[in-house]
């Protein structure tokens, strides 16, 4: 069974630009190691998606916790932070 837990998720401003930075950790509680895990993050204003991004986290080994960061192109932190009310994060794919 595939069991990946996402925690310590933070949506913040990237240090070197005005883009959104998504940071967090993934813990692999599965029976398998993965060469890569594709993760989808959606930011919402109420129930309207305003940012939708998929990225990969490499080498997610069985029984480990791995940190990740993703700078989201074509975003303006100052605009998004004013309106986003919630996010969803989930595994899109793995191999």
Q: What digits encode the pLDDT tens for the residues 30-87?
A: 999 999 999 999 999 999 999 999 999 999 999 999 999 999 999 999 999 999 999 9
What residue ranges do the domains of the chain occupy? Answer: 4-94
Name the CATH architecture for the domain at 4-94: Sandwich (2.60)
pTM of the model: 0.94
Residue-wise over 48-57: b if at least 16 C-beta within 10 A, else e?
eeebebebbb
């Amino acid at each position: 069974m595939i069991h990946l837990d996402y925690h310590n998720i933070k949506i913040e401003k990237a240090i070197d630009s005005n883009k959104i930075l998504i940071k967090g950790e993934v813990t692999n509680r599965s029976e398998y190691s993965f060469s890569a895990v594709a993760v989808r993050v959606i930011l919402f204003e109420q129930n309207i998606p305003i940012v939708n991004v998929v990225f990969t986290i490499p080498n997610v080994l069985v029984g480990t916790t791995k940190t990740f960061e993703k700078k989201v192109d074509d975003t303006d932190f100052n605009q998004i932070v004013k309106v986003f009310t919630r996010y969803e994060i989930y595994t899109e794919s793995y191999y």
